[in-house]
């Protein structure tokens, strides 16, 4: 298998052979596939094997791989030049398109990665409030900047501990890590530290521990509590933005809220670059205008607003119309239901959870939820491992981790869905035959 040969070659020059850890198949074992092309709902590896893809580049391939309009837009932009170190007209067009879709989004700054977007949003929140502390939720991922690679301390309102080697205790101690969907824990943190908290940052719907949406009323409670203490709210839509729905998951949440409360800042990535490196932060005008060159909060990037990435993102959003989101919704509805049906038939306990067009499968006994990271960690990962490899053998490319969302595209038509459905019974039987882990006593 050429993928195995390429993996060995990569390991000699790249740490772990990969440039992002989940690609190494560490959670599922086996040999990661090296992909050489994609078209619509399919990807093809170096050995010529075609798979129905449910990774979708971890979200950006909203319309499907190599969408003709997106490819043409990038080729046209590339023919004009790869970058100029100066503004291009399409940057404002992309900002206008995003602002038109997201309630409460008034100004936007383009950056290159989701990590950069959340890092800058936190700097901006601290600059605006003059406060040091950030609240985040266990299991929510906001990039790999030091202050966000933090783990919960020994109590609900205690300062965090380093979550990675290289993160100092002093940096981690500027973060409070709380259980998600727990209003009492959030209230306790503000009761103890409220005058020092700059902002709460949360994924609009958690999708990096599997899909765990906010409980009804939790987002509204979070915003109201933070604002009552003079703190800001940063809603991280790097993964869910324009993917969970046309206005991101915030659009779904806002439609359910009784009040006019809104987050102060948003972060975006993935879909906004259409498959190329691009991200953004945005929010209320008076906050965003604290960024340089207008204000005292510094942020800069040579490749920010790169014309190729802007062309890909703008074209993707312009083609992400009602019909595209209807197709995404149908594919997510059918596939999540078929997965659950196959697992039920094989007698595999599980739970499927959705957030808009995102969904994931939790293997194990769940009477409800999971609602937080502790609940997500109770899943039977060895059953996921067996299921994953059986699906791969059946020609379906799933995320290689039990703690990731599944992504459909607008190109997942009846033929692609049928191929997934055909692979499910064997994969469900493989999961049933995997021995669940012994319970911790």
- Please report the pLDDT score of residue 432 as a whole number: 97
Give residue 184's Cα distance to chain centre: 26
DSSP letter for 413, please: -
C-alpha 310/C-alpha 76 separation (Å) is 12
- Please report the pLDDT score of residue 151 as a whole number: 80
C-alpha 101/C-alpha 313 separation (Å) is 14
- Please report the pLDDT score of residue 441 as a whole number: 41
The token pair that represents 219 in the structure block: 């987002």
E strands within 130-269? 133-137, 150-151, 161-162, 175-178, 197-203, 232-237, 265-268
Catalytically annotated residue among 236, 249, 264, 372: 236
C-alpha 424/C-alpha 167 separation (Å) is 42
Catalytically annotated residue among 51, 270, 372, 373: 270
C-alpha 393/C-alpha 402 separation (Å) is 18
Kind plus residue range of the DSSP H or E element containing 111: strand 107-111
Tokens 């191929």 correspond to 419
Strand partners, 273: none
- Please report the pLDDT score of residue 435 as a whole number: 72
**Greatest CA separation for the chain:** 64
Q: What is the pLDDT along the chain (441 residues), one digit of tens a residue?
A: 899 999 999 999 999 999 999 999 999 999 999 999 999 999 999 999 999 999 999 999 999 999 999 999 999 999 999 999 999 999 999 999 999 999 999 999 999 999 999 999 999 999 999 999 999 999 999 999 988 888 876 555 566 778 899 988 888 889 999 999 999 999 999 999 999 999 999 999 999 999 999 999 999 999 999 999 999 999 999 999 999 999 999 999 999 998 999 999 999 999 999 999 999 999 999 999 999 999 999 999 999 999 999 999 999 999 999 999 999 999 999 999 999 999 999 999 999 999 999 999 999 999 898 999 999 999 999 999 999 999 999 999 999 999 999 999 999 999 999 999 999 999 999 999 997 655 544
- Please report the pLDDT score of residue 35 as a whole number: 98
C-alpha 407/C-alpha 420 separation (Å) is 13
The token pair that represents 218 in the structure block: 């939790």
Q: Which residues of 18-57 are buried (b: 16+ CB within 10 A; e: fewer)?
A: beeebbbbebbeeebbbbeebebbbbbbbeeeebbbbbbb
Query: Of the candidates 237, 238, 312, 318, which has an alpha carbon nearest to the alpha carbon of residue 275?
Result: 312
Q: Is 136 a catalytic residue?
A: no
Kind plus residue range of the DSSP H or E element containing 226: helix 218-228
In total, the chain counts a number of residues equal to 441
- Please report the pLDDT score of residue 161 as a whole number: 78
Q: How many CB atoms lie within 10 A of CB 419?
A: 18
Long-range contacts, 87-96 (Cβ 8 Å, 24+)? 87/305, 88/305, 88/307, 88/310, 90/307, 90/310, 90/311, 90/314, 91/305, 91/310, 93/314, 94/272, 94/310, 94/313, 94/314, 94/317, 95/280, 95/282
Q: Which residues of 185-196 are buried (b: 16+ CB within 10 A; e: fewer)?
A: bbebbbeebbee
Q: How many CB atoms lie within 10 A of CB 389?
A: 18
E strands within 195-336? 197-203, 232-237, 265-268, 279-283
Catalytically annotated residue among 141, 180, 249, 325: 141
Q: Is 141 a catalytic residue?
A: yes
The answer to whether 428 and 387 are in contact (CB under 8 A) is yes
C-alpha 74/C-alpha 52 separation (Å) is 24
Q: Is 236 a catalytic residue?
A: yes
Kind plus residue range of the DSSP H or E element containing 43: strand 42-45
| Burial (0-12, 13-18, 19+ Cβ within 10 Å), 338 | middle
């Amino acid at each position: 298998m050429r993928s195995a040969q390429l993996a060995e070659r990569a390991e000699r020059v790249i740490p772990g052979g990969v440039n992002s850890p989940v690609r190494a198949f560490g959670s599922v074992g086996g040999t990661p596939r090296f992909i050489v092309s994609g078209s619509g709902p399919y990807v093809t590896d170096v050995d010529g094997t075609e798979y129905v893809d449910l990774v979708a580049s971890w979200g950006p391939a909203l319309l499907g791989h190599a969408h003709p309009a997106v490819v043409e837009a990038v080729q046209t932009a590339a023919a004009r030049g790869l970058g100029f170190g100066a503004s291009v007209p399409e940057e404002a067009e992309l900002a206008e398109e995003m602002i038109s879709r997201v309630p409460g989004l008034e100004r936007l700054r383009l950056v290159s990665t989701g990590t950069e977007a959340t890092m800058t949003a936190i700097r901006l929140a601290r600059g605006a409030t003059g406060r040091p502390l950030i609240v985040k939720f266990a299991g929510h991922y906001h990039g790999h900047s030091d202050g966000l690679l933090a783990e919960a301390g020994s109590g609900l309102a205690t300062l965090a501990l380093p979550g990675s080697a290289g993160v100092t205790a002093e940096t981690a101690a500027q973060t409070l890590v709380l259980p998600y969907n727990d209003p009492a824990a959030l209230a306790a943190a503000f009761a103890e530290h409220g005058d020092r908290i700059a902002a709460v940052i949360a994924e609009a719907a958690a999708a990096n521990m599997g899909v765990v949406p906010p409980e009804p009323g939790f987002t509204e409670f979070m915003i109201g509590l933070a604002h009552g203490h003079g703190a800001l709210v940063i809603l991280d839509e790097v993964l869910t933005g324009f993917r969970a729905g046309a206005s991101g998951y915030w659009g779904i949440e806002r439609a359910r809220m009784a009040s006019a409360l809104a987050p102060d800042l948003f972060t975006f990535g993935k879909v906004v670059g259409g498959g190329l490196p691009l991200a953004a932060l945005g929010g209320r005008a008076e906050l965003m205008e604290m960024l340089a060159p207008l204000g005292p909060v510094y942020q800069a990037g040579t490749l920010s607003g790169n014309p190729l990435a802007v062309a890909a993102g703008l074209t993707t959003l312009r083609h992400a119309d009602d019909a595209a989101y209807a197709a995404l919704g149908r594919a997510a509805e059918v596939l999540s239901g078929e997965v659950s049906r196959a697992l039920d038939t094989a007698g595999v306990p599980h739970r499927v959870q959705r957030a808009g067009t995102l969904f994931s499968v939790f293997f194990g006994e769940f009477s409800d939820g999971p609602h937080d990271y502790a609940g997500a960690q109770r899943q039977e990962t060895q059953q996921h491992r067996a299921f994953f490899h059986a699906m791969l053998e059946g020609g379906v490319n799933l995320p290689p981790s039990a703690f990731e969302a599944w992504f459909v595209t607008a190109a997942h038509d009846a033929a692609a869905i049928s191929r997934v459905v055909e692979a499910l019974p064997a994969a469900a039987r493989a999961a049933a035959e995997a021995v669940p882990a012994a319970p911790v006593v």
